[in-house]
Structure 1
């Protein structure tokens, strides 16, 4: 697929969710904006920063930023799509756990997610 909203030359903004890092938050999985490289947390994560980035910018495509995953999601069509390889690195560091980062994940993270996702 060639689309002006996918720029394979743009590197990721870091190795973790930009907004979670700013406030000391944590995430379950990471997503990478295919237009600008913004790394945000997934919709299973407490803050859902990847979707918030789409809503703020209109950048419709994200790619998984998890090791071993290369799928894309189109927020507008609400479906998975094919896309090109992106500038390295293509995933978070493999020694960075999920959820992460390790030093910020609360011991009761599963029950916190259950409460958040039930609301």
Structure 2
């Protein structure tokens, strides 16, 4: 299968204002890994984190493609197609 949502990618060479998961920083929680929404630049925590804010952001907005925001990682994932992008 080939992801059909590449046209939603609007954020490239991103520099988010937050240095961590936006919601966790506000609530004082911690996270495991960070993901960035490639539609709007929202930074959220991964599904291994207790709050799963990256997935919740997708569920609330429908923004389908995220990218790892971890140093040394550059993979992208589409929630709708359940596929890693190359």
Common fold: TM-score over 0.5: yes
Q: Which residue of 2 aligns with 1:117?
A: none
1:9 CA drift (Å): 5.8
| Consecutive unaligned residues in structure 2, runs of 5 or more | none
Q: Secondary structure at the match of 1:32?
A: strand
- The structure with the larger Rg is 1
Q: Which residue of 1 aligns with 2:45?
A: 41
Deviation readout 1:10-42 (Å, 9 max, x if unpaired): 532411000000100000000000011100000
Q: Which residue of 1 aligns with 2:9?
A: 6
CA contact (8 A) 1:32 1:63 kept: yes
Residues 72-91 of structure 1: pairs in structure 2 closer than 5 A? 72-82=76-86
- Give the structure-1-normalised TM-score: 0.64
| Consecutive unaligned residues in structure 1, runs of 5 or more | 83-119
Number of aligned residue pairs = 82
What RMSD over aligned residues (CA atoms) do the two structures have, in Å? 1.8
Cα distance in 1 for partners of 2:64, 2:14 equals 16
Cα distance in 1 for partners of 2:72, 2:6 equals 24
More strand by share: 2
- Give the structure-2-normalised TM-score: 0.87
Q: Secondary structure at the match of 1:4?
A: helix
